[in-house]
Amino acid sequence: MAGKNVHSLDEANFEAEVINHAGKVLVDFSATWCGPCKVLAPIVGKLADEFEGTLKVCEVDIDRAPRLAQKYGVASVPTVMVFEGGEKKGTIVGVAKRDKLVKLAGL
């Protein structure tokens, strides 16, 4: 897990935690074997701490939730998506700096 404020998601809880959440949700699709994902994880963790209460931050291990990866078109990791009111608002593929993720989330 990337940090104490990062929620781990799978196919069983994704809809409840992301789609049914009224606010903004940043979802980091990653894999344990992915080097760039390990670079991005601390950045995502810091965002979760910094914007606690404003932005819900979650992670999905694509190896544990392959149907989610397929459903959302995750072809490579890391892929970060932002959802608001249950709808996907934006996507970044690859390692992104903090400022780019903040902008993607509209914060």
Cβ neighbours for 20, distance < 8 A, ≥ 6 positions apart = 86
Q: What mean pLDDT do residues 79-92 have?
A: 96
Q: Is the pLDDT of residue 1 over 70?
A: no
Q: Quickly state the pLDDT bin for 2 (edges 50, 70, 90).
A: low
Q: Quickly state the pLDDT bin for 4 (edges 50, 70, 90).
A: confident
CA atoms within 13 A on the CB side of 51: 24
d(CA 26, CA 47): 10
pTM (2 d.p.): 0.94
30-63: per-residue pLDDT in tens? 999 999 999 999 999 999 999 999 999 999 999 9
58 carries an active-site annotation? no
CATH number assigned to the domain with residue range 6-105, chosen from the 4 options 2.60.120.280, 3.40.50.1370, 3.10.20.600, 3.40.30.10: 3.40.30.10
d(CA 94, CA 74): 11
> Which two tokens mark 87?
């709808």
20-36: per-residue pLDDT in tens? 999 999 999 999 999 99
Residue 54 CB-density burial (10 A; 0-12 exposed, 13-18 middle, 19+ buried): exposed
Marked catalytic residue, from 34, 60, 74, 77: 34
34 carries an active-site annotation? yes
Residue 23: CB atoms within 10 Å: 11
